[in-house]
Amino acid sequence: MRKTNHTRRLAALLLLLPLLCPAARGQQQAYKLAATENTRCDFTEVWPLNDLGSDILAQIEKRPEAKTAVVVYGLPPGDAIVYARGAKRWLTEMRGVAPPERVLDIYGGPATTKRLELWLVPAGAAPPPSAPPVAGGRVTLFDTYDYWPGEFCGPDRPPSLLVFAEMLAKLPGWRGTIVVRPHVDPRRVPEGTNKDPSPLTRRQAARRAAGDRLYLTKTLGAGAGRVRAVVGAPATWAHAELWLIPPAATAANGR
């Protein structure tokens, strides 16, 4: 009798297997094509994106019914999000591999080293999950940006502020703070640095902070009452920081 019952349970399980397992139902699942930590702002050294004969890009082009997911891991989260969008733009506008609606840009989560992954998402399959940029309701450094675009890369201030404004719109009750940090010694730039050939004085940092806040509130539509701008402590390289402040911290500070 026990053997008969066991056989019946096994038969029932086999009947349920197609319902429990997407692969058994014949559904395709998203899968990773490639990954790299060799990321550059102009994408010239991102393998395999710069490889004109890459089989990876050929796979994407041959699957017009599928989508491509650009997943970027890193900290601060805003930097990874901006990079994912840049990689999407590179694939769609510069390389013409796929139309924009077929390419997804996804924040994969925190990582000590920025990492990019390319995924193929067949029709009907779920894309890789997006990680929350903020977790646990903590004060979060969302992004940083320079005021010097560098020799090869475009300015990162506009895309950083754009993503910051979008994030504030998704986080009701949260506030944003722009902290502009001047150079620790604006009269002398250390040899070998390409961070800030025109380092900021404290007065210049104050003007930058006010201008960035105005751009964020007037041009990008972030609520003026939700954004403040301050001059921070001097740093070894002049830059700005974008901080997300949760409601609890705002209430505790009486703001």
Q: Do both 248 and 154 map to the same domain?
A: yes
Q: What are phi and psi of 69, to 5 degrees?
A: -110, 125
> Would residue 5 count as lying in a domain?
no
Q: What string of pLDDT tens digits covers the 255 residues of the chain?
A: 444 555 555 444 444 444 444 444 446 899 998 888 888 887 766 656 665 456 777 778 888 889 999 999 999 999 999 999 999 998 888 888 888 999 999 999 999 999 999 999 999 999 999 999 988 889 999 999 988 766 667 778 999 999 999 999 999 999 999 999 998 875 655 555 545 556 788 999 999 999 999 999 999 999 999 999 999 999 888 899 999 999 977 545 555
Parent domain of 70: 31-121
Task: Among 72, 91, 121, identify where a domain stops.
Answer: 121
Q: What is the CATH number of the domain that holds 149?
A: 3.30.1330.60
Total-model pTM = 0.81
> Secondary structure of 127-189 in the HEC alphabet?
CCCCCCCCCCCCCEEEEEECCCCCCCCCCCHHHHHHHHHHHHHHCCCCEEEEEEECECCCCCC
Q: Do both 117 and 147 map to the same domain?
A: no
Counting the structural domains of the chain, the total is: 2
Q: Do both 60 and 101 map to the same domain?
A: yes
> Would residue 196 count as lying in a domain?
yes
Task: Among 78, 93, 121, identify where a domain stops.
Answer: 121
Q: Do both 111 and 155 map to the same domain?
A: no
Q: Which residues contact 184 (CB under 8 A, 6 or more apart)?
A: 234, 235, 236
Classify each residue of 141-168 as buried b or exposed e, where b means 16 or more C-beta atoms within 10 Å of its C-beta: ebbbbbbbeeeeeeebbebbbbbbbebb
> Would residue 126 count as lying in a domain?
no
Unique residue bearing structure tokens 């969008």: 85
Q: Do both 238 and 190 map to the same domain?
A: yes
